[in-house]
Structure 1
Amino acid sequence: MSIGALAARFGLATHVLRHWESMGLLHPERDANGRRRYGADDLTRVAIIRFSKEAGLSLDTIRSLSATVDRTTRHRILSHEAEKLRSRIAAAQVSLQLIEGGLNCTHEDVTQCPNYQRLIADHIGPPTTGDTPPSLHPRNGT
């Protein structure tokens, strides 16, 4: 398969595949004219790279994972990545709560909604130097 065909199959630009090759993530064979030729293993590799990127892994991390056969090293890398993903999921859940709070609010001005104010107050935490407006302070019961 040519670079153009492989790129089209995954909805990528050809320069992306060239970049992944320059990073050592892909190793296509070359034909007699020096053109890249991708086989079934390359197809699988691109799918793994795409899936890994969608999971939030960087290209450097993907390269590190593909370069190791040591279970302990792989476990250390993936444990770190899992923790980062858990943090992103938690942040996304807070964002979703905020958005849904705004959607479900019946107040004309969402900033006046007690539930919305509670979500904001929970997100910013207790005041440290009196910088939180009283209406957003968690102890005001609003």
Structure 2
Amino acid sequence: MNIGDVAARSGLPAKTIRYYEDIGLVRPQRDPNGYRAFREQDLHKLAFLGRARGLGFSIEDCRNLLHLYEDETRTSAEVKDIAQHHLDEIDEKIANLREMRDTLSDLVRCCAGDERPDCPILESLGSAPGKA
């Protein structure tokens, strides 16, 4: 398969596929004319990477997961550790977003939103850190 074919079948843009090749996540064969010649196993790796990136795994996590996927001597504990760490990061981001939302919600509620110039939103944004 050429890069267009594998892009269509994997759902990944050709630019992303080239990037994955550049960083060594996939290594397609080359035709005598120098064009990439993707095999089914390359397509499978690209689909795997697309799903993992869709779940927010970092490139390094994807590299490790792909290595474990190909390692028949792996333990599921190794895979779970990577996934659990990522889940913990997601939970932390959600908590931070909730805190941001609560703060902003309070500021919006406190702002009269009228013709007067005083605005608690701007006052908060202009205050020293930690004094919101």
- State the TM-score, normalized to the length of structure 1: 0.59
Question: How many percent of aligned residue pairs carry the same amino acid?
Answer: 25
- Determine whether 1:47 maps to 2:57: no
Pairs within 5 Å for 1:102-113: 107-108=112-113, 109-111=119-121
Whole-Å separation in 2 of the counterparts to 1:101 and 1:39? 55
Equivalent residue number for residue 76 of structure 1: 81
Equivalent residue number for residue 24 of structure 1: 24
Amino acid in structure 1 at the alignment position of 2:93: R
Amino acid in structure 2 at the alignment position of 1:107: A
- State the TM-score, normalized to the length of structure 2: 0.63
- Per the TM alignment, residue 50 of structure 1 is displaced from its structure 2 partner at its CA by 2.7
Equivalenced residue count is: 116
User: Which stretch shifts more, 28-37 or 71-80?
Assistant: 28-37
1:87-125 residue CA offsets vs partner (Å, 9 max, x unmatched): 11222233333445555566123539xxx9xxxxxxx5x
- Per the TM alignment, residue 46 of structure 1 is displaced from its structure 2 partner at its CA by 2.4
Give unmatched runs, 5+ long, in structure 2. 69-73, 114-118, 125-129
Distance 1:51 1:110, change over 3 A: farther
Whole-Å separation in 2 of the counterparts to 1:43 and 1:102? 49
Whole-Å separation in 1 of the counterparts to 2:106 and 2:43? 43
1:21-80 residue CA offsets vs partner (Å, 9 max, x unmatched): 233321323334332123444334323323322322111111111111321211111111
